[in-house]
Structure 1
Amino acid sequence: MYRISLLLGAMLSVCTSSFALPEEGDDFQDQCTQEQVTILYYQGTAYCTASVNGINYPLSLFVEKTTESSVILNGGNGASCRAQVPFYTSEASVRNVCKRVPAQPFYRMEHTYLGCISQRATGKLNWSRYQNKLYFVERSVNGGAFQPVGTFTADSPVLQYSISPPGGRFVYRLQAQETTNGVYGSWSYVTLNVPNCQGMKDW
């Protein structure tokens, strides 16, 4: 039984160490646009001269159509040099250019630290608020899973925190929802390294 307990403990330790919290951007979406680009092609005989032990070796090679403007030519006696490939033609093309953007509605929290008050780290979190939206706030403490803090509206008071010693690493995240259609936006995150206010006088 003792050996089984040790094995289970080791397995739990491995599982805990591999747990990763979600981060900002994990739920972002691809936003793609099309742009016109010009592709340059090269073709023809490439020439260069390689020098080995003071002796020059002219090298050449016919290069088929490629997008590379230069090639490495290799000859005997270890001769090697880079040669330019003649320009051949150009071609217009359209490609997709994508970037990751947050799903809307998306708002960022602003953090204001108010100092140590009654030996507790105190501050407030605020964000832009609008009617017809709900705001959900969650918190992770020292790498733990996110837990709900509360649901807020445009008329809710500013979110304040008061954290007892020893402080630690607190990650807050915010998600907004349109009440008219139920659509959720992406999460925004703010990380607080909360100080230990034990024995500290009020600021």
Structure 2
Amino acid sequence: MAEQKKQPSVDAAPDIREKLLQSALRLFTQKGYASTTVREIVAETGVSKPVLYYYFENKEGIYRELMQRFLTSMDSIFDNAPAADKPIREQLFQLAEKMFVIAVQNRDALRLLHAIYYGPPQGAPVFDFDAHYLHSFEHVRKIVRKGIRSGELAPGREEDIAWLLMAAAQIAIEEQICDRPPLIDRHQLKRILEVLFRGIGRKYEKKKR
């Protein structure tokens, strides 16, 4: 019979699991995933290696938990979308604002995600980031489709409009993880979306010769 893994004596620190996560996140963000060791994570937290192994088994387990937690919070925005009876613009404004707030509240997790997704390979476990992003996109596209059919949005290719709206939100979100003060806040994000809804093309009549 296999020996059961014994729980470390951490009764005095019931939040030790969360402390391990936050220590790992700080180190992953500052040093990179590949350069961070289990020894550094436990030293930062003030516990021993067996404590980390009990909660997460290894460094990969901590990374998966951090990414899953952040992406689940993003997914929940769309799974609990604004009431369908609200105006289309209001639904889209609310989704963008909630995405923005989650990003601001989880800057380090977002920085880590970007470093892994856009940067050189760091040996991190494979994580299907695209599936989560497309999950968000499909929700936005459904709202756009409804807006076009109801006449609240101008006719057009729904996927093109959805990508444009997602791009505006993404730029505002990425501003929050720069090393300098962000250039776009939540209020400016709403103004940008309002510009998109109004359209930037100017109507004109062709001059007669």
TM superposition score normalised by structure 2:
0.19
| Bigger proportion of residues as strand | 1
TM superposition score normalised by structure 1:
0.20
| Bigger proportion of residues as helix | 2
